[in-house]
Structure 1
Amino acid sequence: MSLADKVIYQIYPKSFYDSNGDGIGDLRGIIQKIPYLKQLNIDMIWFNPFFVSPQNDNGYDIADYYAIDPLFGTMADFDELITQLRQNHIEVMLDMVFNHCSTNHQWFQKALAGDQYYQNFFYLRQPKADGSLPNNWRSKFGGPAWAPFGNTGKYYLHLYDKSQADLNWHNPEVRKELFKVINFWRAKGVKGFRFDVINVIGKDETLADAPAKIDSKVLYTDQPIVHQYLQEMNKNTFGRDLETVTVGEMSSTDIANSIAYTKKDNHELSMVFTFHHLKVDYQDGQKWTKIPFDFQKLKQLLNDWQVGMSNGGGWNALFWNNHDQPWALSRFGDSKHYRAKSAEMLATVLHLLRGTPYIYQGEEIGMINPNYQSITDYVDIETKNAYQELLKKGLDGQKALAIIQAKSRDNSRSPMHWDDSQKAGFTTGTPWLKPQDQAQINVAAELDHGEIFPYYQKLIQLRKTYPIIANGSYQPIDLNHPQVYAYCRKYNGQALLVINNFYANPVSYQLPQHYQKLPAETLISNYSKQLKVVPSVVNLKPYEALALLVK
């Protein structure tokens, strides 16, 4: 099976299923739910990190790349998980956090203790002559990107939390150590790797100040040397396996670089995650704001990346949701009045595009943002910081909370709803984060009489059945329509028309003239519409999605 046929599921282990009653999801919990996962017919699961970590950034601060954190289980549990998944034809993708490691990691601890060899694993710099920080870069989590390196008088660079020290990729010993990590997990049978914020590893050795009014990220994002590092990593690790699937999380990247990262001949990565389409409800580019999403902008971005990557021979990872995003259904759908229909419409848009679709746990049952009523219900450090910042800017508590409710990362981290019980069937203990809405939205009810899960099953089956979905070209249809996003996939003399109404208002939509009256097959419709001929006008109901295969 090729990359284009695959569908990948994402599990945030902490919130999936708790097998031992401590309120935190774990590996044995995932093993118990394999029969559920098998029903979707997914090919691979990407797991957020479950390595040893102080958990300052939910496991993205790794203290030991070779060990399972006892919070989640043991290496024996992992071995059993990978074996049982493989018996069900599901492969494993692990999260490799290689831009930085935890300050608890032995490399950093040895550096602190004065070991010169390990000091060269990090970006350690003296303050400027006037005693100020080595440069003016900002941390992505707020504040400066420098922290004191023990009592040495030097500082270490941390683009993220101060407990996450950036690794010095210029040092070949660092690269060698990181490649060893990949090869360790490859030997255990891991067939997929996701690389966290991998396009910021190319920082310059001089680490100059960012010019006035220029964001410091411009100086360290998508630097040309990143391609060289990825090629070296590919050659020394996963590039030796034909079947391995890799994806790079790319922070603030562009189409040209993403083509280069994913073009087969370049021997770098299989595909990239990019986030531009998930910023269309940011006011003036600021996340902690609350405005309706910009539909035209959303269409334009999806379209530009489809056209650009296709023309350049690159490959997209397709996704609406992940552990860092609020639920797409709450952002771009109508979770109150048309939860099922808007969930199915969003799924149709994504799964019929060119690229590899990802499904985040709970998306397939139509989970939505929890309606937490107090900042104390939230756990995420970024969320709590943002709330304080909003209050500092003069917003009242209610307005600040409304923004938090819309944008917090805890939205998608709330535990998976397995049933309608008080703890949502997630745990017998106290859940680390409160479940909400499980009375209406849960796996048991969805499997019994829901329509979203079977709709996802059908979309996954279609990708594996129709080469036009996996391999077809992409072109837009009428991008300027105020409420419909329609596109056409083409392959071997066939055309697939995909028509999606993004709003609750019904609309009469005119189809391109050259397809009208041609024989067609309805591949999928979330209103059970069956058309045998392409009409001149199709009347779309609220959040209707329709895909017509034209012979």
Structure 2
Amino acid sequence: MTDRSWPAAPVIYQIYPRSFRDSTGTGTGDLNGIIQKLDHPARLNADAVWLSPFYPSPMKDGGYDIADHTEVHPALGTLDDFDRLVARTHELGMKLIIDQVFNHTSTECPWFQRAIQGDPDYDDFYVWHDPKPDGTAPNNWLSQFGPPAWTWNHKREQYYYHNFTADQPSLNLRCPGVQAEMQKIMRFWRDRGVDGFRIDAITSFLFDTSMKDNPPASPEVRAKVAGESFVPYTYQDHAHDILPGDGLAYVEKVRDWAGDDAFLLGEVTSGNQSVELACGLTEPGRLDAAYTTDFPAGKGSAAAYADILSRATRPARLGWWLSSHDQPRHAAKAGDGSDRDVRFLAFVLATAPGPVIVYQGEELGLSQPDLPKWAVTDPLDLLYWPDGPGREGARVPLPWAEGDDRGFSIAQPWLPMDWPAGVSVAVQQYGADSNLSFYRAAFGFRREMLGSVTLNDWTRTDEVIELTYGRARVILNFGQSEIEVPGRADFASGPMGEMTMPGRTGAIWLA
């Protein structure tokens, strides 16, 4: 990067706008609600805020089905509100990253509607294909949610391709017209002061133009394909529908559109060869970082951590995370839900050798809520109900205070907020022994003592991982058993003995 104000491995706080804070009394979070509470991630020592989509959308997939890439959803605010959000973010010493969803649009996007109507200027904006002679889909490709990746459009008498839901037709990113629009969109937001972009589903951008059938996945490949084993998508080796030979180099176009000084963070949705793809995507002239699902899918274990490090050519280019807007909260998935495990996992992230993503609410130690089916809108959760991944549960609004409204909204929130007493920001704000206080301390220590977080060496012995950063020695005890350590630590996730470290504890020694 040419913008030296970006740290080498920034701490990025993800905000899901509908669930952060409501300032209008509608029950849905909005941009002004975010502005009112931006001091919260700043006090966590976040370097940047990542804002999930706030664009006009029919909300068929949580806002990731975008109808207009250069506007604000009326329920969330206006462009003037967005400009104030940018200004406040910078005033607090943070950068602003926004989602860019270039893989697809909503079916309500004017581009798609014009393509259906046969407008020659938009005919090639999406991926259309004639049926086979028997009327069936062009090939065997599946969407990442499981159903077929092709949907029939009777007006064009063709199928259109979609990596995700049928409400999200995939853009033809090889089309010059699409590329011109993507460049305009990125420039529009850069001109408004945006500092970087999180690129949604970047490994789904391109596909093999021969459109050959994907072969069946071998047991070894299937074990690595992203998604639950009961999802049909895992049965295929995605040799033809995930980044073919020119896919990695295509990211250089994205860099050109964004500018050299923009921080670019890519989402890798391919489970197979995910770390290797992430490393390829972050070669010079491409992305600054990319993140995979390996660590949350591996439940934040020592084995998953070591597997990533052993496969990564440059760990500093990998994003480290455990929860997000479309992954269940990790307190009880990667831990046992106790404060001990919440803080240990926070420590694991705070000492990670690359950019770190903290999803809103992790700092409170929130556990995954159980939602009734009537409240759920997420298409993936509903498709496999009640065995879906729990994406909607991770979007339950934040508890800012105690009481009936939890300080989120004066109206009924868009998702039920059945949080237990005592987990709110108001309760944890000043408690020296709260999860929130620990997060602040851990990421403050990262900023002050670990510097650029350049990993010099690492080892794994059973459930213990040791990392060396310059003069810092980090030990992560993922197991339950006590281990011997060099002596009193400079910073730790929990109580330690003089020469011993309990299970589920992390600590740092400075030379």
Structure 1 and Structure 2 fold alike (TM over 0.5): yes
SS in 2 for 1:341: helix
Aligned to 1:117: 121
Aligned to 1:345: 344
1:424 maps to 2:422: no
Choose 361-370 or 208-217, whichever is displaced more. Answer: 208-217
1:489 maps to 2:493: no
Contact 1:258 1:314 in 2 (8 A): no
Aligned to 2:248: 227
Residues 162-205 of structure 1, C-alpha deviations (whole Å, 9 max, x = no match): 11111111212211211111111011110010000011112122
Contact 2:13 2:46 in 1 (8 A): yes
1:384 to 378, 382, 385: 382
Q: Distance in 1 between matches of 2:147 and 2:155?
A: 21
Residues 295-318 of structure 1, C-alpha deviations (whole Å, 9 max, x = no match): 8xx322211322433x44761111
Please say which structure displays the higher CA radius of gyration. Answer: 1
User: How far is 1:40 from its partner?
Assistant: 1.5
Q: Runs of at least 4 residues of structure 1 off by over 6 A?
A: none
Residues 139-177 of structure 1, C-alpha deviations (whole Å, 9 max, x = no match): 222321111224221111111111111111121221121
1:525 maps to 2:492: yes
Contact 1:419 1:438 in 2 (8 A): no
Q: Distance in 2 between matches of 1:274 and 1:544?
A: 25
1:463 maps to 2:407: no
2:72 to 52, 65, 68: 68
Structure 1 length as normaliser, TM-score?
Answer: 0.84
Q: Distance in 2 between matches of 1:303 and 1:468?
A: 22
1:498 maps to 2:463: no
Gaps of 5+ in 1: 281-292, 388-400
1:323 to 313, 322, 325: 325
Residues 391-421 of structure 1, C-alpha deviations (whole Å, 9 max, x = no match): xxxxxxxxxx4x45xx311221111011121
2:392 to 410, 414, 418: 410
Aligned to 2:334: 332
Contact 1:63 1:105 in 2 (8 A): yes
SS in 2 for 1:99: coil
Q: Distance in 1 between matches of 2:90 and 2:160?
A: 42
Residues 266-301 of structure 1, C-alpha deviations (whole Å, 9 max, x = no match): x11011110022223xxxxxxxxxxxx6x8xx3222
SS in 1 for 2:459: strand
Aligned to 1:308: 311
SS in 2 for 1:115: coil
User: How far is 1:502 from its partner?
Assistant: 4.4
C-alpha change, 1:501 and 1:211, in structure 2 (3 Å) is closer
Residues 342-370 of structure 1, C-alpha deviations (whole Å, 9 max, x = no match): 11000111211200111111111111111
Choose 363-372 or 206-215, whichever is displaced more. Answer: 206-215
2:437 to 454, 457, 470: 454
C-alpha change, 1:313 and 1:502, in structure 2 (3 Å) is closer
Q: Distance in 2 between matches of 1:497 and 1:314?
A: 16
Q: Distance in 1 between matches of 2:391 and 2:457?
A: 32
**Amino acid paired to 2:123:** Q
Q: Distance in 2 between matches of 1:356 and 1:548?
A: 21
User: How far is 1:428 from its partner?
Assistant: 0.7
1:45 maps to 2:49: yes
Residues 423-477 of structure 1, C-alpha deviations (whole Å, 9 max, x = no match): 2211111111011224131110111325211211122122222246612324123
1:436 maps to 2:429: no
2:282 to 237, 247, 262: 262
Identity within the alignment, %? 29
TM alignment of 1:87-486, pairs within 5 A: 87-212=91-216, 215=236, 217-239=238-260, 241=261, 244-252=262-270, 253-263=273-283, 265=284, 267-280=285-298, 298-309=301-312, 311-312=313-314, 315-335=317-337, 339-372=338-371, 374-387=372-385, 401=386, 403=387, 407-449=389-431, 450-467=433-450, 470-478=453-461, 480-481=462-463, 485-486=464-465
Q: Distance in 2 between matches of 1:351 and 1:144?
A: 40
C-alpha change, 1:174 and 1:312, in structure 2 (3 Å) is same
Aligned to 2:504: 543
Contact 2:316 2:354 in 1 (8 A): no
User: How far is 1:539 from its partner?
Assistant: 4.3
Contact 1:349 1:500 in 2 (8 A): no
Counting helix residues as a fraction of each chain, which structure ranks higher?
Answer: 1
C-alpha change, 1:383 and 1:236, in structure 2 (3 Å) is closer
Q: Distance in 1 between matches of 2:236 and 2:393?
A: 28
Contact 2:302 2:465 in 1 (8 A): no
SS in 1 for 2:99: strand
**Amino acid paired to 1:430:** Q
Residues 217-265 of structure 1, C-alpha deviations (whole Å, 9 max, x = no match): 33121322122211122123322x2xx21110011243332222113x3
Q: Distance in 2 between matches of 1:444 and 1:274?
A: 33
Gaps of 5+ in 2: 218-234
Aligned to 1:286: none
Choose 16-25 or 167-176, whichever is displaced more. Answer: 167-176
Contact 1:101 1:164 in 2 (8 A): yes
Q: Distance in 1 between matches of 2:180 and 2:127?
A: 17
**Amino acid paired to 1:185:** W
1:509 maps to 2:483: yes
Aligned to 1:290: none
2:61 to 34, 57, 61: 57
1:28 maps to 2:28: no
Q: Distance in 1 between matches of 2:366 and 2:153?
A: 43
Q: Distance in 2 between matches of 1:365 and 1:20?
A: 24
SS in 1 for 2:286: coil
Q: Distance in 2 between matches of 1:174 and 1:355?
A: 32
C-alpha change, 1:509 and 1:428, in structure 2 (3 Å) is same
Aligned to 1:84: 88
SS in 2 for 1:330: coil
SS in 2 for 1:548: strand
Q: Distance in 2 between matches of 1:377 and 1:115?
A: 39
Q: Distance in 2 between matches of 1:45 and 1:495?
A: 27
